Structure 1
Amino acid sequence: MKNLIIALITLSIFACKPESKVDYAIISGKIENSKAKTATLKNADFKAEIAINEDGTFADTLRIPENGFYTMSIGREFTPIHIGFEDSLYVTLDAMKFDQTITYTGQGALKNNYLASKTLHNGKITSNAAEFYSLEENAFKTKISKIKTANETLLNGLTNADEAFISAEKQNLIYDKYLMTNNYSQRHGYYTKKEDFKVSEGFIPSELKDMIFDDAKAYKSSSSYKDIAFDKALIGIFDSLGDDISSVTPKDLKDVSDIKIPALKNDIIDYLSSFLVSPGNENMEAVYNFFSENSSSEDTKKKLTETFEKNKNLVKGKPSPQFVNYENHKGGDLSLADLKGKYVYVDVWATWCGPCIAEIPSLKEVEKQFHNENIEFVSTSIDQAKDRDKWVSMVKDKDLGGSQLMADNNWSSQFVKDYAIQGIPRFILIDPNGNIVSADAPRPSDPKLLELLEKELKIQP
């Protein structure tokens, strides 16, 4: 009897033991014609990098936080992908014909082959953006309705597909249509050269016009919902900021605090911090603290801190970083120290930079206006050494004035690094004592530059 009781207890223990929850998916495959070393899989709150072997094969077990939509990136190409617990996907593609060749087999292949077909179908129709968005309103509405109908037909043709995926994707198709509708006004005006174009009353459906962006799940599931939400949030924020971003305060950024979706808030902070956590903003530290407090992403906070640390020594009044012995187009070389006693307006540019070249006529006018004042205009090219002759020729052909210098190591020049320059043109104003007036000064085409120079040089307008 005792043995029977023990046996029954043992049996009940094994019978009642809960099954271990599967919280992973397996993804593997082979990529042709790619030099990429990693494939990246991510959504709003998950990111994983998968190593790609020399022969293009890869395999990994991913502990995903939830069944759902992700983005898979390989090099510059990316594609939507849906991964669920217990999925075991095998992916093949040719990187030279990414969307045309991507194919899935294995558990979870059905839904992902649909997503690949949808992406290819949409891409073909919208590849000529000028033609697509130049359509008149009625023709455009007909076109995007056909796109949605064709994708619905594909979706409805799936057999034995996950019901949660089908339900979410049906809503995503609505968001896809909304995104194209949302983009129409601005893009139609651009491509048809109708600067003041406005869509007619009723073109934007009330569901889109009145949409409140508070659905964190949709933000992860639909790239279209994500794009619309991001666009709407930025429009509201920029309406509050106005045109002058040189003195933005946390109070001006109240709309950021009001964003309901944490991932959207992080994305907005990522974007705004690139130019508001800047020495060009006199309230940089306060804005940095505000963004840090409002971010829920450790990656975003890390980037914020890195940006702030780079820029905190570039505020007004700090000693300027130096450039030393830069080649002078007039002969010899020149260092910033040689110009002590003068204001120095530095233009960081390159011969391949269209926006830089567009500033040249305005720069010439400013130089002419302040020709007799205590200021030196210095243009520093960050062209590569192999393009030196191109630089020499452009300076001569365009009759560029001021001091024309060439940086010693293009983007890796110490001066460029010290000023945390990541994009050009960039303009810097330094005072006669070698201290920073503005590490992100107005462009020559901006009337604010004249105001700044007149103020610093004590010139009566």
Structure 2
Amino acid sequence: MKKILFSAVIASAIISCQKEQKVDYTLIQGKIDNATAKEVVIKGNDFSKAIALKEDGTFADTLRVNSGYYSLAEGRESTTIYLEPGYNINVTLDTKEFDETITYTGNGAENSNFLASKFLIEEKEAIAPQELYKLEEEAFKAKIQEDKDKIAKSLGEAQNLDEDFVALETKNINYDYLSKLATYTNAHRYLTKNNDFVPSEGFEAELAELDFNNEADYNNFAGYQNLVKSHYNEKIATLDSTTTIADVLTSIEAKSIKNDLAQMLSYRISPSNENSEELYLAIMDASSNEEFKQKLEKKYTTIQKLAKGNPSPSFDGYENYKGGTTSLEDLKGKYVYVDVWATWCGPCKREIPFLKEVEKEYHGKDIEFVSISVDKAADKEKWKQMVADKELKGVQLFADKDWSSDFVKNYAITGIPRFILIDPDGNIISADAPRPSNPKLKETLNTLL
């Protein structure tokens, strides 16, 4: 009898131990035909892992991830997958037809297979955004409702999906619909060149009760992220005299939303923004991202040195298209208008006709027009070719270390085109001068020349 009782106790203990052993990882493996990269990359919220591809295109790894949506990328192509601890998923695809050939098998595969089929449905039904948002509101709303219904129907007909996944996807489909709805007014005004357009009463009624402070949904759904960012951008753009940006940031409870909004607002901190100090302090107080705050502190310290009248950061020995090298010191004695640009930059190229016009108008005056390319060294020939093809005038220079050049970093340049105006003594007039397309540039130059 004692032996029987002892055996029962041992068996019970083993069963209890087995019940406590919950799998906390996901297994993923697969094969990529015609691979274009040496690895696949899995990314999600606060998670990123590169998995090496073997010579035959196979890969395998163990992922410690939370339940949710992730991207699987190979080279320049990517797809959305759904992962949970305990899943064991096998992926196969051919990069020559990436989206059409991707297939999942194994435990948990059905959810990702649905996402793959959903993408193909969306691709088939989609019309170009510029055409979608040009539609009159009745036709627009009918189109996005039709698209939403087709995806919802596909979700309802899919077999063997996890209940949690279905709940998430139902939300996801709705947020994508609402995101398009929220985008319509401004996009329609822009594309139809009708700034007076106002949607009919009730057009955006479905947005009225939306909660813009949902941490979980923000981390899960791109559509919801777009809604939240648009909401707070609009709120900040229409602030009245009694509300500050700091008030808006303080009102947000969701950590991820507050951190992302703080990071978005940091781009407004610039030499030309007279409210940079107020904005800087508000962002530093709101953000809990220490790495970001360290970078912002460094940027702000740099910007403080770019006040009008301070000595300009210098560049030395930049390659000159016409031969030899040129330094900022060589240009002392004249005003200098600097254009920081690159051959791949669309907005930069759109300024070229305006810059040529300004150069022509002030030709022979006490000013040098200097264009500095931040193209990579490997693209130097492209730079030379574009200078020749577009018959660019002025002093054409090639930065020594593209974005890592001291001149670029010392002017806190994080986006191009960027224009800078320097006086004959080498001091800053404006670290963020008007673009050639802005009439204020000629107004400024006329007061100087």
Partners of 1:381 and 1:12 lie apart in 2 by 73
Paired residue secondary structure (1:49): strand
Paired residue secondary structure (1:159): coil
Deviation at 1:373, TM superposition (A): 6.6
Seen in structure 2, the aligned counterparts of structure 1 residues 58 and 195 have a Cα distance that, compared at 3 Å, is farther
Identical positions, percent = 45
Deviation at 1:119, TM superposition (A): 1.6
Q: Is the 8 A contact 1:36 1:52 kept in 2?
A: no
Seen in structure 2, the aligned counterparts of structure 1 residues 363 and 130 have a Cα distance that, compared at 3 Å, is closer
Deviation at 1:153, TM superposition (A): 2.2
Deviation at 1:106, TM superposition (A): 0.7
Deviation at 1:168, TM superposition (A): 2.4
2:350 is matched with which residue? 358
Partner deviation per Cα, 1:92-129 (whole Å, 9 max, x = no partner): 22233332222111111111111111121112211533
Q: Match for 2:313 among 318, 321, 326? A: 321
Seen in structure 2, the aligned counterparts of structure 1 residues 189 and 301 have a Cα distance that, compared at 3 Å, is same
2:388 is matched with which residue? 393
Aligned partner of 1:261: which letter?
A
Partners of 2:270 and 2:74 lie apart in 1 by 32
Deviation at 1:353, TM superposition (A): 4.2
Q: Is the 8 A contact 2:321 2:384 kept in 1?
A: no
Seen in structure 2, the aligned counterparts of structure 1 residues 261 and 75 have a Cα distance that, compared at 3 Å, is farther
Paired residue secondary structure (1:423): coil
1:227 is matched with which residue? 226
Paired residue secondary structure (2:435): coil
Paired residue secondary structure (1:72): strand
Partner deviation per Cα, 1:29-85 (whole Å, 9 max, x = no partner): 2223343344443444x2121323143322222212x32233334433333322122
Deviates more, 1:116-125 or 1:381-390: 381-390
1:209 is matched with which residue? 208
Seen in structure 2, the aligned counterparts of structure 1 residues 404 and 294 have a Cα distance that, compared at 3 Å, is same
Aligned partner of 2:419: which letter?
F
2:82 is matched with which residue? 82
Aligned partner of 1:268: which letter?
L
Deviation at 1:417, TM superposition (A): 4.7
Partners of 1:209 and 1:387 lie apart in 2 by 50
Residues 65-104 of structure 1 mapped to structure 2, 5 A cutoff: 66-104=66-104
Q: Match for 1:295 among 273, 287, 296? A: 287
Paired residue secondary structure (1:240): coil
Residues 145-184 of structure 1 mapped to structure 2, 5 A cutoff: 145-184=145-184
Partner deviation per Cα, 1:120-148 (whole Å, 9 max, x = no partner): 11122115334434444333333323322
Deviation at 1:170, TM superposition (A): 1.8
Paired residue secondary structure (2:238): helix
Partners of 1:146 and 1:315 lie apart in 2 by 54
Deviation at 1:354, TM superposition (A): 4.1
Seen in structure 2, the aligned counterparts of structure 1 residues 323 and 428 have a Cα distance that, compared at 3 Å, is same
Deviation at 1:166, TM superposition (A): 1.6
Aligned partner of 2:87: which letter?
D
Deviation at 1:447, TM superposition (A): 4.1
2:251 is matched with which residue? 258
Seen in structure 2, the aligned counterparts of structure 1 residues 264 and 43 have a Cα distance that, compared at 3 Å, is farther
Paired residue secondary structure (1:85): coil
Seen in structure 2, the aligned counterparts of structure 1 residues 210 and 453 have a Cα distance that, compared at 3 Å, is farther
2:262 is matched with which residue? 269
1:119 is matched with which residue? 119
1:41 is matched with which residue? 42
Partners of 1:90 and 1:408 lie apart in 2 by 46
Q: Is the 8 A contact 1:382 1:409 kept in 2?
A: yes
Q: Is the 8 A contact 1:50 1:59 kept in 2?
A: no
Q: Is the 8 A contact 1:351 1:390 kept in 2?
A: no
Partners of 1:36 and 1:119 lie apart in 2 by 23
Deviates more, 1:143-152 or 1:227-236: 143-152
Paired residue secondary structure (1:212): coil
Q: Is the 8 A contact 2:343 2:383 kept in 1?
A: no
Deviation at 1:385, TM superposition (A): 2.9
Partners of 1:16 and 1:406 lie apart in 2 by 69
2:141 is matched with which residue? 141
Partners of 2:398 and 2:164 lie apart in 1 by 59
Give me the CA root mean square deviation.
Answer: 3.6
Count of equivalent residues: 443
Partner deviation per Cα, 1:220-245 (whole Å, 9 max, x = no partner): 23221221122222222233399xxx
Deviation at 1:179, TM superposition (A): 2.0
Q: Is the 8 A contact 2:318 2:325 kept in 1?
A: yes
Paired residue secondary structure (2:24): coil
Paired residue secondary structure (1:60): strand
Partners of 1:24 and 1:172 lie apart in 2 by 25
Q: Is the 8 A contact 2:40 2:72 kept in 1?
A: yes
Could you tell me the TM-score, scaled by structure 2's length? 0.83
Q: Is the 8 A contact 2:36 2:95 kept in 1?
A: no
Q: Is the 8 A contact 2:245 2:282 kept in 1?
A: no
Aligned partner of 2:248: which letter?
D
Paired residue secondary structure (1:197): coil
